[in-house]
Every structure is written in C-alpha cells, then in structure tokens.
Amino acid sequence: MDKSVDLRELSIEQLDAKLAELREERFRLRFRAATETIENPMRFRTLRRDVARVLTILGEKRREA
C-alpha cells in the first residue's frame, strides 16, 4: 500500500477508485476466509487500515474543495 504522502498526491477521483479497489479486495478476502483458509490473515488488518487512510485523506481533500 502507498504511504499517506503518496496518497495525498492523488486526485479525488483517483482516491475514490483506490477506495473501491481496496473495498473489493477486502470483500473477496472475507469471502475466501469463509470458505477456505487464507495464507496471510494479517492482510485483514492492513486492508482495514488502508481503507481508513484513504477515507481520511478523501475527507481532508473534500473539505478543502
């Protein structure tokens, strides 16, 4: 995942796309975890934090605009 510094350089549209991508990945991971064992369960934590990071930066950018 990109650092918050890298995310701040993206536009609002790009951040929206990144958020959709992360949420889709989280959904697929949860679905796979329900049906089989996954090799990296810590991925849940990193995805949750990445989504929160993108949402925070999106909120900041929308307040600026």
| Residue keyed to tokens 């991971």 | 29
Residue 41's contacts (CB-CB under 8 Å, 6 or more residues apart) are: 33
What is the domain range of residue 24? 4-64
Name the pTM for this structure.
0.88
17: nearest Cα among 58, 65, 62: 58
How high is the pLDDT of residue 65? 80
Q: Token match 């959904």: residue?
A: 27
Name every residue whose Cβ is closer than 8 Å to that of residue 10 and which is 6 or more positions away in sequence. Answer: 18
Give the CATH number for residue 10: 1.10.287
Per-residue pLDDT of the chain (65 residues; tens, 9 = 90+): 558 899 999 999 999 999 999 999 999 999 999 999 999 999 999 999 999 999 999 999 999 98
How many structural domains comprise the chain?
A: 1
Q: Which of 40, 45, 50 is nearest to 2 (CA)?
A: 50
